[in-house]
Structure 1
Amino acid sequence: MSRPHWHFVTGKLAADSLANLLKELAPQANFDYSLQVLPVKVAALMTADWVAPRLELSANVTHLMLPGRCRGSLSTLEEQLKIPVVRGPGDYRDLPEYFGKKSERLKHYGPYDIEILAEINHAASWTIPEILKQAKRWRAEGANLIDVGCDPGVTWAGVGEVVQALRDDGHRVSVDSLNPQEIELATQAGAELVLSVNSSNREFAQDWEVEVVAIPDSPEDWKSLEETVDYLETKKILHRIDPILEPIGFGFAESLIRYQKARKQWPETDIMMGIGNLSELSEVDSSGVNFLLLGICQEWQIDSILTTEVINWARSSVKECDIARRMVYYAIHHQNLPKHLTAELLLLRDAKQRELSTEEINKLAEQITDKNFRLFLSQGLLYVINSEMNLSHEDPFELFEQVLKKTKVTIDAGHAFYLGYEMAKAVTARTLGKSYSQDQALTWGFLTEEEQSFLEKKRQEKIEQRAIKKQKKRPL
């Protein structure tokens, strides 16, 4: 199979540096390439429509990459050229991470060996359609089992119906209860795992004929855990062990050590960690907490985790755990740091904050001959530049007032909204240490929602309107 041939387009200022980078990168990433330098100093001045008639592509080109700051719709180019057309990263120095050096490592990234149980808390208060909808989302996000959480102190007669509905929808199911009656209903309906058994209900476990999770009578009571495990081993009941993770302030560190103790004491037995006591009961974003706990689980060979998504700051824990388990598996099995694998868990800050320098922005402003607004963020200042102005200010409201005074064209409501929207993105990027690029979404890891630029939307609307007019003119 022939190697892909990438055709790169750039401006004069970046040409030499990009050529040197590609000379080193292409052999490592296994692609051929060609580089075309267009008659403009800075790539940010380009638009897709301006680039199109100036392209010089050989017949063996398989992919076209335009600069990340090139504006306009790429769909027309793709239709004309019949090859994929993409924007590169906002900074050409990120090309190795885009596909080069990173690609070799990613060939081995993805496997995992930690199972995720996602618990539907207080499941009795949910309707079956609600439960099935939630379970479907969690399965797509990486959950291996759906855990049906029951409420203590009452017997839920409908648990079997819920388990059956989940099983009919293709889910693997566990039940979270100490109540033997509830457990019996759930296992009869197809639950394959019981959370949990201790001295209060272990004598019923043999009747259920499914795997169970052994827990201590209280988190610090190690002897009770040993007795329950001994009982299950004697009765030859399939089981895994959960020593119980405690919240910070209530014995977290000691409880964590008990997991290591359990692995040493029962080296051949599966262990499960319920991580909700930390992710749900610590008022911090859950992604870092989940990643750290999954790292501990991987190192200590803890085979499964139970997570929840009750409180808002933990609302995406299942997906976070799915990403984390793949990262830590790679790190440990390949003896590499869990870096430069994926940015999916960088939900707040970016891996790198890329921005043009003040000097680069001023040079760019000198080259602009049109009145289209270009927005930049550099060294804490917001910039608006076009052929009429080169303005900057740290306050977006003050900057907009300067724009209104300086511009010779009328700014309609749509453009005013557009400028305000882009300035709000820039301020957000400045606040959080993120990269800002006009007409492109800020990155929020796996939560990123790509956005279509204002100009692309307007262009698409005009294309659709022309198509409608042509359709109306056709004779019946």
Structure 2
Amino acid sequence: MNKTPKENILFLTGKLAQKRLERILKEMAPTEFTYEIRNIGVSVAALMTAQMIARRITNIEHIDRVIVPGLCRGDLSKLSDEIGVPCVRGTIDMKDIPTFFGRDCKPVDLSKHEVKIFAEIVDAPMVDIDVILKRAEKYRQDGADVIDIGCLPDTPFPHLEDVVKELHQAGFKVSVDSLNEDELLRGGKAGADFLLSLKESTLWIADEVSSTPILIPDKHTDMKSLFNSIEKFSAKGRPFFADPILDPVHFGFTKSIIRYHELREAYPDIKIMMGIGNLTELTEADTTGINAILFGLISEMHLNAVLATQVSAHCRSAIREADIARRIFYSARQDNSLPKGLSGSLLGMHERRPFQYNTSEIQEFYEDVRDPSYRIQVNENGIHVYNRDGICMRENPFDIFPELELIQDDAPHAFYMGVELARAQIALQLGKKYMQDEELDWGASSSKRTDEQKKDDLQATHNMREMRKQSNDYKSEGSTLKARKKNKKK
């Protein structure tokens, strides 16, 4: 018996995406189709148009179907007629191609990274050891690898040695951060794993202790002195990091980035640290975006460590953001891909696909509902509230409330609807995904609630519903859209 020949599919792509597309299709083997991949002369696949394809595509007599990028613009039915082969849009994200063909997607691996995070406790001389240990544990949970003990100018630090000892006993790697030679020496002799920072004039401290130093220029921007320190310390055969110092915006930021690039070009194999606090702390903007761009630079230059701080109120999640950023950019670089579709954790304010259903689809959901419980959904048109008896759509919860006509003294239900409609309004305003009975996802900007906490929230919702049912005043039809409709008929 002759086997049915496999479908021969032509995948069209751009230069930047071609290698990744090849890898994804190869990992899908064996496939129920044969395929070819063609770059039709664009760098970015999303810039492809139907008209462009019609002009450039040739030799397709043996092709059964053409799959174009999901963001390709133009009339594909017209294109299909012009070239004589069916053309369809594929997925927007290449990682979803296996799903397009009914396969399970390969899970994103964010377990690996190559950047060490030093988290600084900037006021260590001013606080007790118990406070330092508590803060260190928080930083460790957020992703810190090393706890950096920040010393303060002209401020005594009598418990420095005890801090190093207690942190070590609690399982932390420790660095001592000071420009005071005595404090660096004390920290090193106490067993600190790292010393921030040594200059060409203070390299002698490294001969007295076993700590790994971070080397900086003798004077700001003096790369010659940093290079001298690198050469001298390399001759010792001991590990070190070099840091040419990142400057704030308008105070040398661009030139400081260039210095990092020059350092990496001059020394491809040494370990380099970047202190990112001068940008996150001294720029009044959400740190998720700042960290994303910084770790993009860090990834391209193959830097090995960052020094992160959480001093300003707007930097309260900077360490957690640095942790996810190092993983996202490492995974993207290893996959030779853009840092997209790997995690939404750095999208605190917005989401890539916030609205799951259009208005006609929500209308279909409404038509299938057979009970009085309210459903709430959000799309670009507004907040949709419905149950078996009716549906309304508004942008403002204050405009929705009169439509509901909740029965008097139904505090649990009013509270519940208030919470959910407030969440829905925020989701509509910011472009975030809303799921009824779930908190909005703020990514790395907020601590993740545990499964147990989520269960408690759902149980509280259930309890409120039970309270309503047990109330003497409870009448299901009195708190539904149906009651409003009845009143209008009277």
**Same fold by TM-score, threshold 0.5 exceeded?**
yes
Structure 1 Cα separation of the partners of residues 257 and 158 of structure 2: 35
1:380 aligned partner: 381
The one-letter code sitting in structure 2 at the alignment partner of 1:180 is: E
Alignment partner of 1:104: what SS? Answer: coil
Report matched runs for 1:161-240 at 5 Å.
161-234=162-235, 238-240=239-241
- Contact (CA 8 Å) 1:142, 1:319: kept in 2 or not? yes
Indicate how the Cα distance of structure 1 residues 462 and 415 shifts in structure 2: closer, same or farther if over 3 A, else same: closer
Structure 2 Cα separation of the partners of residues 299 and 427 of structure 1: 39
Indicate how the Cα distance of structure 1 residues 374 and 267 shifts in structure 2: closer, same or farther if over 3 A, else same: closer
- Contact (CA 8 Å) 2:412, 2:464: kept in 1 or not? no
- Contact (CA 8 Å) 1:178, 1:196: kept in 2 or not? yes
- Contact (CA 8 Å) 1:225, 1:243: kept in 2 or not? yes
- Contact (CA 8 Å) 1:199, 1:217: kept in 2 or not? yes
Give 1:280 deviation, angstroms: 1.0
2:274 aligned partner: 273
Structure 2 Cα separation of the partners of residues 301 and 235 of structure 1: 24
- Contact (CA 8 Å) 2:355, 2:380: kept in 1 or not? no
Alignment partner of 1:271: what SS? Answer: strand
- Contact (CA 8 Å) 1:219, 1:255: kept in 2 or not? no
- Contact (CA 8 Å) 1:205, 1:237: kept in 2 or not? no
Note if 1:320 corresponds to 2:318: no
1:76 aligned partner: none
2:441 aligned partner: 443
- Contact (CA 8 Å) 1:178, 1:201: kept in 2 or not? no
- Contact (CA 8 Å) 1:376, 1:437: kept in 2 or not? yes
Which moved further from structure 2: 246-255 or 181-190?
181-190
TM-score by length of 1: 0.71
- Contact (CA 8 Å) 2:125, 2:156: kept in 1 or not? no
How many percent of aligned residue pairs carry the same amino acid?
36
Structure 1 Cα separation of the partners of residues 244 and 257 of structure 2: 9
Equivalenced residue count is 369
Give 1:156 deviation, angstroms: 2.0
Structure 1 Cα separation of the partners of residues 29 and 308 of structure 2: 38
Alignment partner of 1:263: what SS? Answer: helix
Aligned-residue CA RMSD (Å): 2.9
Indicate how the Cα distance of structure 1 residues 191 and 102 shifts in structure 2: closer, same or farther if over 3 A, else same: farther
The one-letter code sitting in structure 2 at the alignment partner of 1:112 is: H
Map Cα deviations across residues 32-89 of structure 1 (whole Å, 9 max, x no partner).
xxxxxxxxxxxxxxxxxxxxxxxxxxxxxxxxxxxxxxxxxxxxxxxxxxxxxxxxxx
2:15 aligned partner: none
Which moved further from structure 2: 263-272 or 252-261?
263-272
Map Cα deviations across residues 298-351 of structure 1 (whole Å, 9 max, x no partner).
221211111111112221122211111111112222212222222222222122
Alignment partner of 1:384: what SS? Answer: strand
1:120 aligned partner: 121
Report matched runs for 1:391-470 at 5 Å.
391-404=392-405, 409-410=407-408, 412-446=410-444, 447=446, 448-449=448-449, 451-452=454-455, 456-457=459-460, 459=462
- Contact (CA 8 Å) 1:425, 1:442: kept in 2 or not? yes
Structure 1 Cα separation of the partners of residues 206 and 457 of structure 2: 62
Indicate how the Cα distance of structure 1 residues 262 and 454 shifts in structure 2: closer, same or farther if over 3 A, else same: closer
- Contact (CA 8 Å) 1:275, 1:306: kept in 2 or not? yes
Give 1:266 deviation, angstroms: 2.2
Give 1:355 deviation, angstroms: 3.9
- Contact (CA 8 Å) 1:348, 1:444: kept in 2 or not? yes
2:486 aligned partner: none
Give 1:119 deviation, angstroms: 0.7
Indicate how the Cα distance of structure 1 residues 426 and 222 shifts in structure 2: closer, same or farther if over 3 A, else same: same
Alignment partner of 1:428: what SS? Answer: helix
The one-letter code sitting in structure 1 at the alignment partner of 2:398 is: F
TM-score by length of 2: 0.69
Alignment partner of 1:310: what SS? Answer: coil
Give 1:183 deviation, angstroms: 1.4
Which moved further from structure 2: 130-139 or 423-432?
130-139
Note if 1:104 corresponds to 2:102: no
Give 1:246 deviation, angstroms: 0.3
Indicate how the Cα distance of structure 1 residues 300 and 360 shifts in structure 2: closer, same or farther if over 3 A, else same: closer
Give 1:418 deviation, angstroms: 0.9
Alignment partner of 1:173: what SS? Answer: strand
Indicate how the Cα distance of structure 1 residues 234 and 372 shifts in structure 2: closer, same or farther if over 3 A, else same: closer
Runs of at least 5 residues in structure 2 that lack an aligned partner in the other structure:
1-26, 31-95, 467-490
- Contact (CA 8 Å) 2:125, 2:155: kept in 1 or not? no
2:366 aligned partner: 365
Runs of at least 5 residues in structure 1 that lack an aligned partner in the other structure:
1-26, 31-93, 464-476
1:46 aligned partner: none
Give 1:174 deviation, angstroms: 0.6
Map Cα deviations across residues 134-174 of structure 1 (whole Å, 9 max, x no partner).
11122222211111000123442221111111011111101
The one-letter code sitting in structure 2 at the alignment partner of 1:315 is: R
Map Cα deviations across residues 408-431 of structure 1 (whole Å, 9 max, x no partner).
x55601111111111100110011
Alignment partner of 2:158: what SS? Answer: coil
- Contact (CA 8 Å) 2:217, 2:226: kept in 1 or not? yes
Structure 2 Cα separation of the partners of residues 444 and 115 of structure 1: 25
Structure 1 Cα separation of the partners of residues 359 and 247 of structure 2: 51
1:147 aligned partner: 148
- Contact (CA 8 Å) 2:121, 2:150: kept in 1 or not? yes
